[in-house]
Amino acid sequence: MKLGLKAECNLVALKWFKYSIYPENPSLAILFTDGTLQLMKSDQDDNPILVDTQLKPVDCQWNHDGTILAIAGRSSDSNPGPNQNSINFYTPLGKLIRTMKLPGNQIAGLSWEGYSLRLAFAIDSFIYLAQVKHDYMWTCFSNTLVYHFHKRNKPESYVMFWDTKNNEVNLNHYC
């Protein structure tokens, strides 16, 4: 396996998401102490995606369906001080989705809740819980709410139709 290291540095985390609903996306995340993130489709991937997270990372975790990679660390700013902790959220292709700045001196780790609706992280001697608001594909017309989702570890797409006036639900799945 070819590693995309710029210089001599150590491994922080190695996370392999095994049940991806999008097999064409990278599912192997390798995180190094210099803040480099390497995303690969497999251990034989000759074209890994390299991302400079601009963090001094401590941990990373895939969410429940492998669509978001959260990386915890401290800002690689040269100005030391409190409130430099953050969690960066990335797509499997390495695009930064959002950065969450956090208080305290030293973040130590993070973990997703089962369906990725909450995130727990440790800073100093405290454990914090954050609610995660995902972007869902949905629309509403007349008295019907329509939304799209995936079930855990399943490649099928589901579309839910909910008649809010009659409280009737119709679920369709697509392969």
**111 lies in the same domain as 147:** no
CATH at 61: 2.130.10.10
Q: Is residue 2 part of a domain?
A: no
- Can you give the pLDDT at residue 154? 67
**82 lies in the same domain as 113:** yes
Mean of per-residue pLDDT scores for the chain: 87
Q: Write out the DSSP string of 34-94.
A: TSEEEEESSTT-SS-EEEE--EEEEEEEE-TTSS-EEEEEEE--SS--SS-EEEEEE-TTS
Q: Is residue 1 part of a domain?
A: no
For the record, the structure tokens of 15 come out as 């996370």
**37 lies in the same domain as 108:** yes
**73 lies in the same domain as 124:** yes
**82 lies in the same domain as 17:** yes
Q: Which residue has the higher pLDDT, 117 or 19?
A: 117
Q: Is residue 98 part of a domain?
A: yes
Q: Is residue 4 part of a domain?
A: no
**123 lies in the same domain as 142:** no
- Can you give the pLDDT at residue 1? 57
**76 lies in the same domain as 158:** no
Range of the domain at 167: 138-174
Of 51, 106, 117, which is closest to residue 74 (Cα–Cα)?
Answer: 106
- Can you give the pLDDT at residue 94? 96
**120 lies in the same domain as 142:** no
- Can you give the pLDDT at residue 33? 94
**95 lies in the same domain as 148:** no
Rounded to an integer, the average pLDDT of 15-41 is 89
- Can you give the pLDDT at residue 153? 62
Q: What confidence tens digit (pLDDT) does each residue in 60-118 have?
A: 999 988 889 999 999 877 666 666 899 999 999 999 999 999 989 999 999 999 878 89
The rounded distance, in Å, linking the Cα atoms of 105 and 82 is 5
- Can you give the pLDDT at residue 169? 92
- Can you give the pLDDT at residue 80? 63
Q: What confidence tens digit (pLDDT) does each residue in 124-155 have?
A: 999 999 998 777 788 888 889 998 877 766 66
Q: Write out the DSSP string of 92-146.
A: TTS-EEEEEEE-SS-EEEEEE-TTSSEEEEEETTEEEEEE------EEEETTEEE
Q: Is residue 48 part of a domain?
A: yes
Residue 31: helix, strand or coil by DSSP?
Answer: strand
Number of domains making up the chain: 2
**109 lies in the same domain as 144:** no
